[in-house]
């Protein structure tokens, strides 16, 4: 990749983070509503630390402030000690403006570094820069999910940004299915272009014939599940899920209020009534599994999901994804699904998050990126309305614990044929 092309992508991604933070006050940016979430200011700082720590410092570029490494390291033990994650909201300093100045300084230094590299050195550095950019895109989604959770704690029901005046309207896909004949299929990243290390190596798996729903589970499905006593029926739930539902008094997805045939939800556009044909969001794995069982279906495995996308030639750039690179209101609320097997909600799969055969973490601290989290989590596929457009691949593997509800998580149904 030519230096100008790489730097254009770098500055586009970095500007997108700032655009997402722009509607927020300094007080908004320092909110942390739970240990699993981080303040917006911290996301802006951590993604800057990543470039300074892994790209600039090893090449002799001085750090802007040596103290920031301790504050904004996330989980890289090989780099050194770090500020406790649950206490990130205590970091009133550096201020939001100071973080902005740090971002600009690091951007300028990285720009100068890249322009000074010869073609061989640039080619060697490009994979690390691509990792940093994809890492920042992940944090753009986390910025929105964490902010969503924080604003939801405020009785004033604050609005992050106004909804589009005329959001895209289209009929939902109904009950259409993509059928797959099964057999021996190849899955995982093939090696062309960037991918996270957990997407490979490519390998073969055997699939029995199956079908995957073209539209996610909808709001009307959740309403029917709740109206028919699904949240009170232990036979629909996995044992751990039932215990979780009882302990947390679940009667609706997170941020939702169900009233007869109407669902209201708190979104980043504020409180709104949901279209019954909009995708159901903010479901835990336990809820998704129980609702699938109630609907006479099941959750797909991650390999069924990937194979169905390849079989249907589903583009990961289609669907309801985050468009934050243009001067238009952001579309951040559920709306009827329009097309494709990507976007709207991350879909829980029946697959545990495990290494593929032959997986090995990268050498050095960046090897801590994914591999050490391959335990007690579930894989999600497909992307959400908070996922930056262009960030996804058919092989992309997201992962969260089964009780996670604050992400834009939903489900697609699968059936064995």
Same domain for 356 and 212?
yes
Check residue 339 and give its pLDDT. 67
The answer to the question of residue 143 being in a domain is yes
151 pLDDT tier (thresholds 50, 70, 90) = very high
Name which residue leads in pLDDT, 363 or 261. 261
* Average pLDDT score over the chain: 95
The answer to the question of residue 160 being in a domain is no
Same domain for 147 and 232?
no
The answer to the question of residue 80 being in a domain is yes
Q: What is the CATH number of the domain that holds 348?
A: 3.90.1580.10
Check residue 266 and give its pLDDT. 98
DSSP annotation of 93: -
Same domain for 246 and 118?
no
* Residues 6 or more apart whose Cβ sits within 8 Å of residue 383: 316, 319, 321, 342, 343, 346, 391, 392, 396
The answer to the question of residue 172 being in a domain is no
Same domain for 79 and 148?
yes
Distance between alpha carbon 134 and the CA centroid of its chain, in Å? 11
Q: What is the DSSP string of 211-225?
A: EEESS--BHHHHHHH
Cβ contact 376:83 at 8 Å:
no
Same domain for 131 and 192?
no
Question: Of 152, 168, 200, at which residue does a domain stop?
Answer: 152
* Residues 6 or more apart whose Cβ sits within 8 Å of residue 21: 29, 40, 41, 44, 96, 143
Q: What is the DSSP string of 293-315?
A: HHTT-BPPPHHHHHHHHHHTT--
Alpha helices in 207-259 (DSSP H): 219-227, 239-247
349 pLDDT tier (thresholds 50, 70, 90) = very high
Same domain for 24 and 137?
yes
Same domain for 306 and 348?
yes
**Average pLDDT of the segment spanning 384-388:** 98
Domain span holding position 401 = 177-416
Question: Of 152, 187, 218, at which residue does a domain stop?
Answer: 152
Number of domains in the chain: 2
Same domain for 125 and 188?
no
Name which residue leads in pLDDT, 369 or 82. 82
Count the helix, strand and coil residues of the chain and give each as a percent rounded to the nearest 5.
40, 15, 45
Same domain for 230 and 347?
yes
The answer to the question of residue 163 being in a domain is no
399, HSE (Cβ side, Cα atoms, 13 Å):
22
The string of pLDDT tens digits covering residues 193-218 is 999 999 999 999 999 999 999 999 99
Same domain for 192 and 139?
no
The string of pLDDT tens digits covering residues 282-310 is 999 999 999 999 999 999 999 999 999 99
Same domain for 124 and 230?
no
Question: Of 152, 185, 216, at which residue does a domain stop?
Answer: 152
């Amino acid at each position: 990749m030519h230096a100008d092309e790489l730097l254009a992508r770098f500055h586009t991604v970095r500007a997108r983070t700032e655009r997402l933070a722009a509607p927020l006050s300094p007080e908004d940016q320092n909110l942390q509503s739970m240990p699993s979430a981080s303040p917006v200011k911290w996301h802006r700082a951590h993604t800057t630390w990543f470039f300074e720590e892994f790209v600039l410092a090893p090449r002799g570029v001085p750090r802007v402030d040596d103290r920031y490494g301790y504050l904004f390291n996330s989980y890289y033990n090989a780099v050194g000690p770090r500020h406790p994650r649950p206490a990130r909201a205590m970091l009133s300093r550096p201020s939001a403006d100071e973080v902005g100045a740090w971002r600009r300084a690091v951007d300028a230094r990285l720009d100068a570094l890249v322009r000074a590299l010869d073609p061989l050195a640039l080619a060697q550095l490009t994979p690390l820069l691509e990792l940093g950019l994809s890492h920042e895109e992940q944090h753009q989604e986390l910025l929105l999910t964490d902010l969503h959770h924080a604003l939801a704690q405020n009785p004033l029901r604050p609005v992050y940004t106004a909804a589009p005046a005329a959001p895209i309207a289209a009929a939902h896909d109904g009950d259409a299915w993509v059928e797959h004949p099964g057999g021996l299929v190849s899955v995982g990243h093939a090696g062309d272009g960037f991918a996270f290390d957990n997407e490979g190596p490519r390998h073969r798996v055997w699939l029995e014939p199956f079908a995957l729903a073209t539209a996610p589970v909808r709001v009307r499905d959740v309403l029917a599940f709740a109206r028919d006593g699904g949240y009170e029926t232990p036979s629909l739930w996995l044992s751990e899920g039932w215990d979780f539902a009882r302990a947390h008094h679940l009667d609706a997805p997170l941020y939702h209020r169900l009233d007869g045939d109407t669902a209201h939800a708190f979104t980043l556009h504020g409180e709104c009534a949901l279209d019954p044909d909009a995708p159901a969001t903010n479901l835990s794995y336990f809820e998704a599994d129980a609702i699938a069982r109630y609907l006479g279906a099941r959750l797909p495995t991650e390999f069924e999901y990937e194979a169905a996308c390849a079989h249907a030639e589903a583009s990961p750039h289609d669907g309801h994804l985050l468009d934050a690179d243009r001067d238009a209101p952001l579309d951040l609320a559920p709306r009827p699904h329009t097309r494709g097997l990507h976007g709207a909600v991350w879909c829980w799969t029946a697959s545990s998050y495990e290494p593929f055969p032959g997986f090995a973490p990268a050498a050095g601290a960046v090897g801590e990126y994914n591999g050490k989290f391959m335990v007690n989590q579930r894989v999600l596929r497909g992307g959400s309305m908070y996922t930056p457009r262009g960030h996804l691949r058919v092989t992309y593997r997201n992962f969260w614990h089964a009780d996670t509800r604050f992400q834009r998580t939903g489900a697609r149904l699968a059936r064995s044929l």
